[in-house]
Structures are given as C-alpha cells and as structure tokens.
Amino acid sequence: MKPDPGSNREVGDGYRYVALGITFGLGIVLFMGAGYGLDRWLGWTPWLTLLGTVVGSVLSFVNVYAKREAERRQDARSKKDRR
C-alpha cells in the first residue's frame, strides 16, 4: 500500500508555519534586545526597549504578512498553470 501523497504536503505546510512563527518571534526578540542594549549604554531605560519591541513587532508582522501573500500568489499561479 502506497502512502498518501497529500500527507507530505501537510508536513511541508507545518514546517512553513513553524518557520513563520520563528521569524516573527525572533524579529521581536532581536529588536527588543537591541533596544535594551542601547538603554543600558545610554541610560534611557526603558524607552528604547519599549521602542525596539514595538518596532520589532510591526516589522515582524509586515514580514510574515508579505511572505504569506507571496505564497498565496505563487499557489494561485501554480493552480492556474495546471489547468
């Protein structure tokens, strides 16, 4: 009995979503860490940490959104080409 070919696609989709989640979280943590480091260096605590967290959140969201839109467009093109 052959394995279901659709199950491999589901695993690939799962990895894609995990990668998007890691991208989102890592962007926030990196910008927050940079803000924290600048805060300690300049003595402006907590303003740059907060600013870094907000900027990291916005940029991470935009990045993940853009990647998902690119994937949707590519999927739509591949479905159109199959017809």
Structure confidence at residue 6 (pLDDT):
58
Q: Looking at residue 57, what is its pLDDT? A: 98
- Non-local (6+) Cβ contacts of 50 within 8 A are 35
- pLDDT score for 3: 59
Q: Is the pTM for the entire model greater than 0.85?
A: no
Place of tokens 């003595």: 43
CA angle 60, 64, 69 (to 5 degrees): 145
Per-residue pLDDT of the chain in tens (83 residues, 90 and over written 9): 565 655 677 777 888 889 999 999 999 999 999 999 999 999 999 999 999 999 999 999 999 999 999 999 998 888 888 76
Burial class (CB in 10 A: 0-12, 13-18, 19+), 67: middle
Domains of the chain by residue range: 18-82
How many other C-beta atoms can be found within 10 angstroms of the C-beta atom of residue 81? 7
- Quote the pLDDT of residue 5: 59
